[in-house]
A and B are shown apart, each in its own frame.
Chain A
Amino acid sequence: MTVRLNQTNIAVPQDWLEEPLLWFLRDHAGLRATRFGCGVGVCGACVVHVDRTAMRSCQVPVRDVLGRHVVTLEGLAAGQPDGLHPVQRAWIEAAVPQCGYCQSGQIMTAAAALIQGQPPAGVRAAMDQVMCRCGTQPRIARALARLLGEG
């Protein structure tokens, strides 16, 4: 029983199968960029990619991702020459983060929408479901506009 995690296969111990993927990532795999915000699928802080699709890891038992490819923020830039995914680069240019707590979920959600070739409205609809209390949305909007070639 394995899961492919940021390009590497790792074994899943039997007693982790029913646990939420979020805690498997954080407490078993030691990947702590994926964060807890609500635990009920509402805030988006825990978004990761499962086979290139955005999923809320607090809502997914580990069992459901066996044999699939999970990518977290730590693995998003794999294969990029400067170690940054275009979304991360846009986030740095627009100086988006404040406290930073929500930003893993923001970036992973934006990246998944772009990877899937969503139209601008689809990208924004996806981002509308990711909460940020610090109020970084105006800067997220700026970064998205740049990524979508709008300005």
Chain B
Amino acid sequence: MQRRTLLRAMASVSGLGLTAAAGCALLPPLPYRRAPTAQDAALWLTLESDGTIRLLLPRAEMGQGILATARALVAGEIGWPLERVVVDLPNTTRLPPTRATVGSDSIRDFAPLLIQAATDLRRQMANQGFRVGGPLPETGPIAGATAPDLVRDLVTGRATPFAGDVHLPGMVHATILPPPQLGLKPERVQDDDARRLPGVLGVVRLGHRLVLAAERRGQLDAARSRLHITWTGTPIPETAVADAVDIDRHLGMGPLDHTLRADPVSGPWDIDLRLDVPMAAHASLEPRTAVAQVHDGRAEVWTGSQDIGFVQAMVADALGLRSAQVRVQACRIGGGFGLKTVGTIERDAALAARALGRPVLLQPGRAEEFADAFHRPPSSHRIRARLGADGIAGWHHAVVSGPVIFTDAALTPLLRFATSFLADGGVSRGLELPYRSTAARMEARSVRLPVVTGPWRGLGAAPNGWAMETAIDALARHHRLDPLALRRTLLGQQQPRLLRVLEAAAAQADWQAYQATPTRALGLACGIYKAMTYVAVVAEVERTGASVHVTRLWAAQDCGRVFNPDQVRAQVEGCLAWCVGMALVENLSIANGSLSATSFADYPIPRLSDLPVMAVSLIDSTDQPGGAGEPAMVAGTAAITNAIARLTGDTVTRLPWRPTSRP
């Protein structure tokens, strides 16, 4: 393949606007990047003769409530009873491919088109004699968006919406068999012993990937213990991943590859911080899950995927079929967070189904999921800064991370080579400094790692936002300034929306009057996500002995027009829970050549008792709607660690926070 073609294809991956022809034989399968158009939107609504409106939106539902919000938007705009708008999850047959449900942009990019389509349908219905109403109010929440009926279906068990709930006649159960250590490949696979057990079908070998299948799910564990597999390769050293991203080693070799701003900057510095973020897992409660059936040159796949178009392309490519011969039905996602964007499991399920001649339900066990899934890359930062009379007089933020958008999980070796020339926008997301500065340099590098990494809630904006807001607090401490007062000054008039949420969060927490004690303090942080959503968080942290506990969280968010405030609040709460995890517990490390996590016992995620009361206030606004699923990731973690720093006097430079053993 010509390198130019390849680069053009990659440009589509990096969001530069070109569309790759996935499924076309010349190109490897790639995700679609195309934004939806009014023409697409016309297909989302269908009117049935009895006046039922069927709504089919090319968005995945993973708990962000898009189905409920979309249904309420349509019902409100047409003035039609909610129960006569029936909403379904999309499939690849009924709708043309659209971009993945990622980056918190469903409301921003799809809601305006959906409302326009509903307006058109209202007109059409009026012409046909239907007594329609509407339109939607210009401001304020919309009726029916909280959807108690949909919640009821979930809490009573009436809904069985997940891929693992699909049941086909003759279906077998399967799991993945990842190597016992990173970097190993299977050599000899003997499954005779296992196949002697009743119901065990044995191992299906898909290149270097192994799938174990049995009639019943419960038989897989016993079967696994009777397999004899020899593995080859060299396990990776324990420090290989941390060393690969070590920022000081990279800066010692010269400037990094990709620059966001490149003003000349030089010391002396007020602060000079090395900040490190470890790998982390998505740890969705639902492992990646797919059901596949292959017959008569066609494939059908059911999956809780954030990107059914990419799944279709990957399955078609693997089976040597045309896209039109592969039908992918979206199921509700039991937690996505960026992991369920690549069709690895779906492809394996389809290949195994073809090999076994039976429908396959592929769902890795928890240990297999930790070992086989991709993860948030580690990142290593250096931030140097100096205050001047006119704001920040010098700012240098350099970051090295593993791949995010150009995840190895989605790329063939050739594409890995091709993408090495392009900036990974996921790594540099959120690296922009919102504060007034006279000289700033922001640079990033993405390095290939011996573990597979990719997008994780907030992408680079989560670690970058943490690093940046940690540095701002360190600057404040250095100059003995109040962190709120310093941010106020630095924001000035240039970021009115950010300043507004900052003031709102501080007011909620009563920042000015708060009495810190030796064991209790507040911390704050703020940030902007994808130039669309503004968020500020205040955390109260309490120290008991050597441990700390987050006791309160206040957040203020401006994401423009809010249709469904309760759902937006839920998304902010979810982000804040992730921030507590990021600040205090989550650390996916490597020990003896393999990932340390095998279950929620050795990869703890925040629990009920770890999470405080959260107060979320939304700025009411008529601005264009923005996203809500990730933005608070830019501020929550630093709010917590900044509070810890105020308690201990030490800047938290490494996540998750651990008590230092200082004398």
Contacting residue for A88 out of B146, B156, B221, B366, CB 8 A: B156
Q: Closest CB-CB distance, A87 to chain B, in whole Å?
A: 8
Do B154 and A97 touch (CB < 8 A)? yes
> Measured between C-beta atoms, what is the minimum distance from A148 to chain B in Å?
13
Establish whether residues A99 and B62, one from each chain, have CB atoms under 8 Å apart when the complex forms: yes
The answer, yes or no, to whether B103 is at the interface (CB within 8 Å) is no
A135 touches B577 (CB 8 A): yes
Q: A15-B198, A99-B335 are in contact. Are A135 and B573 (CB under 8 A)?
A: yes
> At the interface with chain A, which of B248-256, B290-298, B310-318, B601-609?
B601-609
Given contacts A15-B198, A39-B365, contact A133 B156 (CB under 8 A): no
- Residues of chain A in range 56-80 having any CB-CB distance to chain B below 8 Å: 72-74, 76-77
* CB atoms of B63 and A23 under 8 A apart: no
- Most chain A CB neighbours (cut-off 10 Å) among B65, B161, B162, B216: B216
User: Which residues of the other chain, B, contact A132 by a CB distance below 8 angstroms?
Assistant: 285
- A33 within 8 A of partner (CB): yes
A residues in contact with B155, CB < 8 Å? 73, 84, 88, 91-92, 96-97, 103, 107
Q: Decide if B164 touches A36 in the complex (CB within 8 Å).
A: yes
Q: Contact check, A73 vs B157: say whether CB atoms are below 8 A apart.
A: yes
> What residues of B have a CB within 8 angstroms of the CB of A47 in the complex?
none
Pairwise interchain contact B335-A97, C-beta atoms closer than 8 A = no
The residues in B between 107 and 164 inclusive whose CB is less than 8 angstroms from any CB of A are: 146, 148, 151-152, 154-162, 164
CA distance A18 to B256 in the complex (A): 58
Query: Which A-chain residue is minimally distant from B578 (CB atoms)?
Result: A135
- Residues of A contacting B: mostly: loop
Contact B146 A100 (CB under 8 A): no
Bound Cα distance from A23 to B601, whole angstroms: 22
- With contacts A19-B216, A37-B366, A138-B613 taken as known, whether A84 is within 8 angstroms of B332 at the C-beta atoms is no
Contact B366 A128 (CB under 8 A): no
Give the contacting residue for A100; candidates B334, B601, B607; CB below 8 A: B334
A131 touches B605 (CB 8 A): yes
Q: Is A45 among interface residues, defined by CB-CB distance under 8 A?
A: yes
Bound complex: CA of A91 vs CA of B148, how far in Å? 10
Verify B157–A104 contact, CB threshold 8 A.
yes
What does the 1/0 interface line of A26-57 toward B look like (CB < 8 Å)? 11001111011111101101000000000000
- Docked-complex contact A100 and B611, CB < 8 angstroms: no
- Is there a chain B Cβ closer than 8 Å to A83's Cβ? yes
* Residue pair A84, B600 in contact (C-beta under 8 Å): no
Interface residues on A, range: 35 or more
Interface centre among B154, B286, B575 (most CB of A within 10 A): B154
State the Cβ distance, A63 to closest chain B Cβ, in Å. 12
Given A36-B164, A107-B155, A139-B570, the answer on whether A42 and B600 have CB atoms closer than 8 Å is yes
B334 touches A101 (CB 8 A): yes
A10 at the interface (CB under 8 A from B): no
Interface size on B, residues (CB 8 A): 62
CB distance from A84 to the nearest CB of B (A): 7
Cα distance A99–B287 in the bound complex, in angstroms: 13
Residues of B close to A73: CB separation below 8 A: 155-157
Give the residue name and chain of the A residue nearest to B368 (CB): A39
> Is A133 a contact partner of B283 (Cβ separation < 8 A)?
yes
Q: Which residues of A contact B332 (CB under 8 A)?
A: 99-100
Contacts of B609 in A (CB 8 A): 124, 128
Task: Report the bound CA distance from A73 to B153 in whole Å.
Answer: 11
CB-nearest residue of chain B to A30: B167
B106 within 8 A of A: no
In the bound complex, CA of A10 to CA of B221 (Å): 26
- A1 at the A/B interface (Cβ < 8 Å)? no
If the complex has contacts A101-B162, A139-B573, are A92 and B148 also in contact, measured as CB distance less than 8 A?
A: yes
Measured between alpha carbons, how far is A32 from B335 in the docked complex, in Å?
A: 18
B88 within 8 A of A: no
The verdict on B420 contacting chain A, using a C-beta distance below 8 Å, is no
CB distance from A22 to the nearest CB of B (A): 8
Task: Write out, one digit per residue, whether chain A residues 126-151 have a CB within 8 A of any chain B CB (1) or not (0).
Answer: 01111111111111110000000000
A23 and B159 alpha carbons, distance in the complex (Å): 18
Q: Do the beta carbons of A141 and B613 come within 8 Å of each other?
A: yes
- Answer yes or no: A11 CB below 8 A from chain B CBs: no
A132 to B146: give the CA distance in the assembly, Å: 21
CB pair A92 B334 closer than 8 Å: no
| CB-based contact B216/A99 at 8 Å | no
Q: B599 within 8 Å of A by Cβ?
A: yes
Among B62, B218, B283, point to the contact of A20 (Cβ < 8 A): B218
Contact in complex: A42, B148 (CB < 8 Å): no
CB A140 to nearest CB in B, in angstroms, measures 6
List of A residues within 8 angstroms of B217 by Cβ: 23, 26-27, 36
Q: Is B495 an interface residue (CB 8 A)?
A: no
A73-B156, A99-B332 as given contacts; A137 in contact with B611, CB under 8 Å: yes
Q: Is the CB of B574 within 8 A of A135?
A: yes
Cβ of A102 to closest chain B Cβ, rounded Å: 5
Chain B 216-255 near chain A by CB (<8 Å), digits 1 or 0 = 1111010000000000000000000000000000000000
Report the minimal beta-carbon distance from B609 to chain A, rounded to whole angstroms. 5
- Chain A to chain B: the 7 pairs with minimum beta-carbon distance, closest first: A135-B577, A33-B157, A98-B63, A101-B334, A99-B63, A135-B574, A73-B157
**Given A101-B162, A101-B285, A132-B285, 4 more pairs with CB closer than 8 A:** A31-B157, A101-B335, A137-B608, A139-B570
- Name A residues whose Cβ lies closer than 8 Å to a Cβ of B: 15, 18-20, 23, 26-27, 30-33, 35-40, 42-43, 45, 72-74, 76-77, 83-84, 88, 91-92, 95-104, 107, 124, 127-141
A-B contact pairs, 16 of them (CB 8 A): A30-B167, A32-B157, A35-B285, A36-B217, A73-B157, A74-B157, A95-B148, A95-B566, A95-B570, A96-B155, A98-B64, A99-B62, A101-B334, A136-B574, A139-B573, A141-B611
